[in-house]
Amino acid sequence: MAATRTILITGGAGFIGSHLVRLFVHKYPHYHIVNLDALTYAGNLANLQDIEQAPNYTFVKGDIRDQEYMQVLFNRYGFDGVIHLAAESHVDRSITNPLAFVETNVLGTVNLLNVARQTWKDDFSGKRFYHVSTDEVYGSLGEEGLFTEETPYDPRSPYSASKASSDHFVRAWYHTYGLPVVLSNCSNNYGPYQFPEKLIPLMINNIRENKPLPVYGDGKYTRDWLWVKDHAGAIDQVFHKGKDGETYNIGGNNEWKNIDLVQKLCDILDELLGHAAGTSRQLITFVKDRPGHDRRYAIDASKIRRELGWEPSIKFEEGFRQTAQWYLDNPGWLQQVISGDYQDYYKQQYD
């Protein structure tokens, strides 16, 4: 069957990207999905093993910063749409190596915008450039309030500054050149295939290994957690039904203080591992805080709910349990990603 649309997904071998690629490959058999990923430490083709033979799926190894190569790909495949997730995504790494974040998140995004515009040659009918961004661009909340689409940008880490900058460039291409763009800004995701540098998989892995659970500062920093498959579902809605030039906030309406979340995780894992109640909580260790640590994020997702009919599908307790169980059921995946470079990263970050 000839594909009715050819979609480029960047960063599809990463955490969220792999869930999105899988969703699109299954849900839209008449689309051709091309997954472009540089396979950095965070990209992993094992995340997509189950669909690698699908007839409507192609993986291409490449770097969004490489203008010539991106142009070759656009010419070869004739993309109708781009869903752009490729990024450096970890705040702690942005503190030790900010330049990598500028290069990929800012320059890489501008490169893609340029290539899309040059290829589509100002005939934008049926085209769409979707930029996937983060709630961190809005800065840090106090005890009260939620981020809306109108909240002024106030990024405070090199990561969020680079994402904020890329968002501005995407909007500039809309206003200046008429490129049909759409954006979304999402809260913290959790679920299978997340690299164990991020809070939840790092804690699960350390509980498995009976290692200290490093909680930054006073542990009262708050995040709004969303099941990754719900984020993929929201991206699907925004890509197909969102309006050009618009931004949609996506969140789980599910705020947790880090310390409460880590304790909850300890209790669930004690149960799943058959440990006595309270065993894993003894591993909790308060450590030096993250510099410039944002106190609280929380999303007002009423726009996407009202306009596109999207809502999170599962409750945190259930998503959390499924996530913990997935990591326990997939020790081979974990072992692969924590070998080699991860050990050096862990030492540098936590020792």
Residues annotated as part of the active site: 135-136, 159
* Binding at 64: pick from ligand NAD, ligand DAU, none (beta carbon under 5-8 Å per type): ligand NAD
What does the binding site for ligand NAD look like in residue numbers (CB under 6 A)?
10-11, 13-17, 37-40, 42-43, 63-65, 85-89, 104, 108, 132, 134, 163, 186, 188-189, 195
* Binding at 65: pick from ligand NAD, ligand DAU, none (beta carbon under 5-8 Å per type): ligand NAD
Strands 128-134 and 181-186, how do they pair? Answer: parallel
Q: Which is nearer to ligand DAU, 199 or 269 (CB)?
A: 199
* Inter-CA distances, 47 with 42, 50, 267, 327, Å: 11, 8, 27, 13
Contact 196, 144 (CB under 8 A): no
> 3-state class of 76 per DSSP?
helix
The minimum distance between CB 136 and ligand NAD, in angstroms, equals 8
Q: Is 258 in the site for ligand DAU (CB under 6 A)?
A: yes
* Binding at 251: pick from ligand NAD, ligand DAU, none (beta carbon under 5-8 Å per type): none
Q: Is 48 in the site for ligand DAU (CB under 6 A)?
A: no
The structure tokens 């002024």 sit at 152
Beta strand spans in the chain (E) = 5-10, 31-37, 57-61, 81-84, 128-134, 181-186, 188-190, 213-216, 222-227, 247-250, 255-257, 284-287
Q: Is 84 in the site for ligand DAU (CB under 6 A)?
A: no
Q: Is 198 in the site for ligand DAU (CB under 6 A)?
A: yes
Angle at 230 between CA 216 and CA 320, to 5 degrees: 45
* Binding at 86: pick from ligand NAD, ligand DAU, none (beta carbon under 5-8 Å per type): ligand NAD
Of 26-34, 71-79, 128-136, 303-311, the segment contacting ligand DAU by CB under 6 A is 128-136
